[in-house]
């Protein structure tokens, strides 16, 4: 069963990505699965300078989910180019670099440096991280700033696919989705995590050193499915912009829900931590579903919600 998809002009072997920040720079995941079985791969957030990340505790489990506040811990642009591009260039999956920064200039300098690299198919702009003081979500919850950073990056992206990752922490996600698309985004990924808090009642302090973190995992999946469907109906469908749907996907059934809701491809995030080869199982599950339901193409699923 052929489940290849066209995603913003990229021909992907299948619609399954691993989401940013949950699969390292790919080499970590390679111990557990054939990374070439993926349709797409998204690196953890890369910033202009290396970042140590936040103090610990950086995670806490909740019912059906977890909070994280890693704080963009990464090796920085220079080391990323030196040490990781080679590995990523050997992957058959479409590689997206997740780009983060505290200012528009930060985003621009990372994208500018990587725009000419053959190893990279596209960029995912992280304008929705809840765990850093500057940048991230402070960009992503303001439509004007989403537009500004998107159009600034678009100019230097060298024709590579530009995907903007949306925050669910807004009143109307279609407003930021539209702002990104009108400013030149070729694709949208949603959703990032929800800002959340867990309190240690003995100490009366938040469990996370960062106090708050981003809630991910199965707990957010129904909200993510709803938001994907909303953005599909209100923005993406009309503009012909593909959606990378994510939020709590564990199984092929979960992934298929997102596609029916309007996603052209799906991202597996938190579940990589529990079952590091789950993405491969999801690819197989999607194939089976398409065959069982006599779909000629997996594309027939996208937006097929009655």
Q: Which residues are catalytic?
A: 129
Judged by CB under 8 A, the residue of 39, 101, 214, 217 near other proteins is 217
Are 114 and 120 in contact by the 8 Å Cβ rule? The answer is yes
The answer to the question of residue 221 lying near other proteins (CB under 8 A) is no
How far is 257 from 184, CA to CA, in rounded Å? 27
Q: Are 71 and 210 in contact (CB under 8 A)?
A: yes
CA proximity to 108, closest of 65, 59, 148? 148
Decide if residue 29 touches other proteins (CB under 8 A): yes
Residue 236 Cβ vs other proteins, minimum distance, rounded to whole Å: 29
Kindly state the tokens that stand for 271.
């579940």
Quick one: which H or E segment has residue 7?
strand 5-7
The minimum distance between CB 32 and other proteins, in angstroms, equals 6
Each residue 100-119 as x (binds other proteins by CB under 8 A) or -, in order, gives: --------------------
Pair 221, 248: CB distance under 8 Å = yes
Q: Is 275 in the site for other proteins (CB under 8 A)?
A: yes
Alpha-helical runs (H) found in the chain: 76-79, 85-89, 104-114, 137-140, 143-156, 173-182, 221-231, 237-239, 252-261, 271-274, 278-292
Contacting other proteins within 65-94 (CB under 8 A):
65-66, 68, 70, 73
Q: Which of residues 277-296 bind other proteins (CB under 8 A)?
A: 277
Rounded Cα distance between 99 and 287, Å, is 31
Which is it for strands 213-216 and 194-196: parallel, antiparallel or unpaired? antiparallel
Please identify, using beta-carbon distances, which residue of 54 and 176 lies nearer to other proteins. Answer: 54
Q: How far apart are CA 43 and CA 95, in angstroms?
A: 8
Which one, 63 or 118, has the nearer CB to other proteins?
63
According to CB under 8 A, which one of 39, 130, 247, 276 is a site residue for other proteins?
A: 276
Instruction: Kindly determine how many residues on this chain lie close enough to bind other proteins according to the rule CB under 8 A.
Output: 35
CB of 18 to other proteins, least distance (A): 9
Residue 24 backbone class (left: φ over 0; alpha: ψ -120 to 50; beta: rest): left
Closest CA to 151 of 120, 130, 127, 133: 127
Site for other proteins in 136-165 (CB under 8 A): none
Minimum distance from CB of 60 to other proteins (Å)?
Answer: 7
Taking CB under 8 A as the binding criterion, the range among 92-100, 222-230, 258-266, 270-278 that sits at the site for other proteins is: 270-278
Q: Which is nearer to other proteins, 36 or 64 (CB)?
A: 64
Residues 43-62 that bind other proteins (CB under 8 A): 44, 52-61
Q: Please state the closest distance from residue 203 (CB atom) to other proteins, in A.
A: 15
Q: How many CA atoms lie within 13 A of 236 on its CB side?
A: 30
Of the residues 8, 14, 20, 22, which one makes contact with other proteins according to CB under 8 A: 22
Contact 48, 109 (CB under 8 A): yes
Min CB(88)–other proteins separation in Å: 16
Residue closer to other proteins, measured from CB, 217 or 262:
217
In the complex, which residues of this chain contact other proteins (CB under 8 A)?
21-24, 28-29, 31-32, 44, 52-61, 63-66, 68, 70, 73, 217-218, 270, 272-277
């Amino acid at each position: 069963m052929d489940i290849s998809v066209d995603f913003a002009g990229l021909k992907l072997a299948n619609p399954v990505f691993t989401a940013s920040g949950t699969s390292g720079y790919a080499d970590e995941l390679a111990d557990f699965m054939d990374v070439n079985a993926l349709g797409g791969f998204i690196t953890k957030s890369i910033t202009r300078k290396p970042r140590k990340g936040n103090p610990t505790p950086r995670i806490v489990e909740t019912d059906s989910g977890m909070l994280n506040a890693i704080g963009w811990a990464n090796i920085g642009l220079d080391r990323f180019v030196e040490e990781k591009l080679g590995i990523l260039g050997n992957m058959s999956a479409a590689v997206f670099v997740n780009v983060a920064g505290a200012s528009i200039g930060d985003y621009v300098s990372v994208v500018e440096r990587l725009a000419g690299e053959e190893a990279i198919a596209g960029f995912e702009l992280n304008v929705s991280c809840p765990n850093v003081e500057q940048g991230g979500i402070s960009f992503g919850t303001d439509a004007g700033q989403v537009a500004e950073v998107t159009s600034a990056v678009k100019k230097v992206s060298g024709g590579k696919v530009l995907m903007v990752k949306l925050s669910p922490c807004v009143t109307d996600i279609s407003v930021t989705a539209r702002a990104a698309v009108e400013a030149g985004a070729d694709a949208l990924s949603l959703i990032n995590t929800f800002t959340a808090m867990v309190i240690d009642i003995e100490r009366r302090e938040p469990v996370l050193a960062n106090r708050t973190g981003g809630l991910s995992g199965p707990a957010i999946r129904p909200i993510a499915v709803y938001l994907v469907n909303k953005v599909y109906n209100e923005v993406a469908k009309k503009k012909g912009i593909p959606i990378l749907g994510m939020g709590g996907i564990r199984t092929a059934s979960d992934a298929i829900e997102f596609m029916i809701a309007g996603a052209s491809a799906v991202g597996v995030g938190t579940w990589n931590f529990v079952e590091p080869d789950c993405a491969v199982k999801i690819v197989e599950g999607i194939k089976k579903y398409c065959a069982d339901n006599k779909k000629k193409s997996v594309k027939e699923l996208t937006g097929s919600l009655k």
